[in-house]
Amino acid sequence: TARPLEIAARPYPFRVADRDAVALLVIDMQRDFLEPGGFGAALGNDVKRLQRIVPTVRRVLDAFRDHGLPVIHTKEGHRQDLSDCPPAKRSRGAPGMRIGDVGPMGRILVLGEPGNDFVPELAPAPGELVVPKPGKGAFYRTGLDARLAALGVSHLLIAGVTTEVCVQTTMREANDRGYECLLIEDATESYFPEFKVATLEMVRAQGAIIGWTAPAAAVLEAL
Ligand code: C5J
């Protein structure tokens, strides 16, 4: 029998006919974005802002684990030979601190390097899907759509960083593919506070044109 779920969200309640169709998508909670010496810091950002959401993301993650619901972790990073990194992406940073250059946590934004791993508090548990991605969106060159279809997932609760880059790109990609998406307000963060506020407003505007937003407390209460 179906077990419905209703989350108090904006612009109106987020309803799921059967909670087995829900997955948690945790976007790019990696040292490269949250710790000094990584990709985010190389671009001149204050990474401490992003660290504040770690306990909240962990609470939501633990709730999904407790309920046996699927969790997917994405990881932005490139192959060792950078063959999946277009020059248009690599050329944007300052010389010496670009993608593939050697930083204090290994090569910047390269898969397998220490700095490219997840922050330890949010390390994937055995059985949780890890999706490496070369772009900002989690559906670009990843096979994520097929993996979600195989799991029977139609509704995504989204957490992670950064709100206006990888999170928003992914949410828009998911929305275009027919997924119903809810962005967890205090489980996402940006280097730019005003970008976060604007992103939350733009996704839920016009009757949830991209999706819904809700605080983690509302998600935990509904689960
Ligand atoms: C960025 C991301 N901001 N994960 N990546 O380059 O949002």
Catalytic residue among 75, 133, 136, 196: 133
Compute the distance from residue 192 Cα to the ligand 1 centre, in Å: 12
pLDDT tens-digit profile, the chain (223 residues): 889 999 999 999 999 999 999 999 999 999 999 999 999 999 999 999 999 999 999 999 999 999 999 999 999 999 999 999 999 999 987 887 899 999 999 999 999 999 999 999 999 999 999 999 999 999 999 999 999 999 999 999 999 999 999 999 999 999 999 999 999 999 999 999 999 999 999 999 999 999 999 999 999 999 9
- Nearest ligand 1 atom to alpha carbon 27: 4
The C-alpha atoms of residue 110 and residue 39 are separated, in whole angstroms, by 10
Tell me, what's the pLDDT at 94? 81
- Nearest ligand 1 atom to alpha carbon 167: 7
Question: How does strand 14-16 pair with strand 5-7?
Answer: antiparallel
Tell me, what's the pLDDT at 48? 97
Neighbours of 85 (CB within 10 A): 19
Compute the distance from residue 80 Cα to the ligand 1 centre, in Å: 19
Look at the pTM and tell me if it is higher than 0.90: yes
Helices in 13-82 by DSSP H: which ranges? 31-34, 39-42, 48-51, 54-66
Hey, whose CA ends up nearest to atom 4 of ligand 1?
A: 166
Compute the distance from residue 196 Cα to the ligand 1 centre, in Å: 13
Mutational test site, ligand 1, from 29, 32, 33, 190, max ligand atoms within 8 Å of CB? 33
Compute the distance from residue 171 Cα to the ligand 1 centre, in Å: 13
Q: Is 181 a catalytic residue?
A: no
Largest CA distance in the chain: 58
Tell me, what's the pLDDT at 96? 78
- Nearest ligand 1 atom to alpha carbon 164: 7
Question: How does strand 155-161 pair with strand 180-189?
Answer: parallel
Q: ipTM score here?
A: 0.96
Q: Is 28 a catalytic residue?
A: yes
